[in-house]
Amino acid sequence: MTGPSPAKRLRTATPDPPLSRADARWLGWPLAVGLLVTVLYVVTNDYPAYGAGLYTLTADTVRANGYALPPTVPHYGPEGVPFAYPPLAFYGLAVLRDLGANVFGTALFLPPLVTVAALVPVYLLGRDIVGDRRAGTAAALLVVLNPQAIEWHVSAGGLVRAPAFLFALSAAYAALRTFRDGEREWVPVGLLAVLCVGLTHPTYAIFTVATYLVFWAGYDRSLLGLGRGAVVGVGALVLATPWLLTVIEFHGVGVFSGAAGTHGGLGGGFYRLRQWGPTWAVVPVFAGIGLLATKRRVLGLWTGVVWILFAQPRFAFVVGSITVVAVVATLVEDGYGTRARAAVPRTVVAALLVVSLVGLGGLGYEFAGPGDGTTPEFVDDADVAAMEWAREETDPSATFVVLGDAAEWFPVVADRPILVSPWGAEWRGPDTYGPHLDAFRAASHCDTVRCVEQSMAAVDADPEYVAVPRDGYTVRGNYRWADGELVGSFADSPDYERAFENDGVVVFHAR
């Protein structure tokens, strides 16, 4: 059931291919489960979870600029957003948009399919680190059935994060083959993967760099290995230089340092503990600590480093899935006799089947349940109708404040600016991102006109129109019900008049 040992690989003239016919059923299992997760997500969501309006408008701005790198993306905030994002995913999305891809359809279907593709390197990492194909299957299943691990990849934001996820895990596997197995043929593969992740998402790029450093320090520590790692890292940096220099020319180096100060920054594991207390993300850490005294200590080290670095628990859960499987494998190898080992294959298959069925049932309940916290939709038909009205019936220079998460999609559908916008504001630094985030949250929780106006004034927002939800909506993904009090407060105010309304939204015009 296991592949050749690292020592055997070193003795062969040609390195083993990453996959063979023997992997088909063990890899096919989590891929099939991943496709079922995709089906569950699609049939329970009329619109994509979370938002990708900014991402879509960024791609449309690239198209409008003739595929040259634009300095800014309009409509998100009074000055727009500096286009300092790594550009690869946006250029890919721009091509799809030119081919006729729909705003919401693309964000609904594409991210989960790319997330399923990312299960391939998860399987390879689990298989090769633990040394058993069943371990690869188990690790991939734990990833695709973990709500925290998939939430940010199958949702609309996965238009960027899912490709970054795929590239980062592919780079991790290339690093394993380069440093542990000494296979120089994986250096160019790693170079391409690291370049792609660096041009896709900055957080996943940091994860990739950390992985390369941990694998070199844990498996190699030779000058030759260091040189191969340098070829990957320096090579990717050199190839990304034209994009970096263009962004610096437009916005200066400060645009990167400013963004780095938001979203928890590095050392996020400690930040998460301080802000929210212990979470399930500490479970893989304890499992990793248990591996430090075994032959799989590098995996334990990798788990700890990832947990320390990132506030986002999805990284710890993904690496931790392999770690948990490795702990179980170690216990079986070290703690049981021959007769018990003979029963392991049947037990493992039964356990994987139970995990698959229970996990699918749990995700289906979560996706379809009231107040879905894993895949909440930011918009519904009423929101989209209000956006289309704004596009068709208001002046192109009209400005808006939109309450609730529907605001994220508003600029790309309505083609009108929103003046309170935390989306993309991190590229203007913490002094812009923080106030806009606070103003958006505060205004979206208000029950009176006075409260909304005070919240808008905190960022000097003076819109011509304010869009107010009148039924269920979300604020930063958390469900909230509008009881009509805020709509009534606006309706009673002499400073506003109704400009548009339907069952879900009322748009007020400032007199």
Write down the pLDDT at residue 2. Answer: 44
Write down the pLDDT at residue 60. Answer: 97
CA distance 362 to 246: 46
CA distance 15 to 214: 23
- Cβ atoms < 10 Å from Cβ of 109: 15
Q: Are 475 and 441 in contact (CB under 8 A)?
A: yes
Write down the pLDDT at residue 14. Answer: 52
Q: What is the pLDDT tens value at each position of the chain, 511 positions in all?
A: 444 444 344 434 455 789 999 999 999 999 999 999 999 999 999 999 999 999 999 999 999 999 999 999 999 999 999 999 999 999 999 999 999 999 999 999 999 999 999 999 999 999 999 999 999 999 999 999 998 888 999 999 999 999 999 999 999 999 999 999 999 999 999 999 999 999 999 999 999 999 999 999 999 999 999 999 999 999 999 999 999 999 999 999 888 876 665 555 566 556 565 555 556 667 888 888 999 989 999 999 999 999 889 878 889 999 999 999 999 888 887 765 455 555 556 677 788 888 888 888 988 888 887 677 889 999 999 999 999 999 999 999 999 999 999 999 999 999 999 999 999 999 998 889 999 999 999 999 999 999 999 999 999 999 999 999 999 999 999 999 988 999 999 999 999 999 999 999 999 999 8
Q: E strands of 329-378, at which residues?
A: none
pTM, two decimals, is 0.91
Looking only at the bridges linking them, the beta strands covering 465-469 and 400-402 are parallel
Write down the pLDDT at residue 267. Answer: 60
CA distance 356 to 299: 24
CA distance 313 to 303: 11
CA distance 509 to 494: 11
Instruction: Look at residue 278 and give its three-state secondary structure.
Output: coil
Write down the pLDDT at residue 7. Answer: 38
Q: Are 31 and 385 in contact (CB under 8 A)?
A: no
| Structure-block tokens of residue 285 | 């850490």
| Structure-block tokens of residue 250 | 């437009």
Write down the pLDDT at residue 332. Answer: 80
Burial class (CB in 10 A: 0-12, 13-18, 19+), 500: middle
Q: Is 476 left (phi over 0), alpha (psi -120 to 50) or beta?
A: left
| Structure-block tokens of residue 203 | 């957080």
- Phi (first) and psi of residue 401, to 5 degrees: -120, 125
| Structure-block tokens of residue 135 | 């371990």
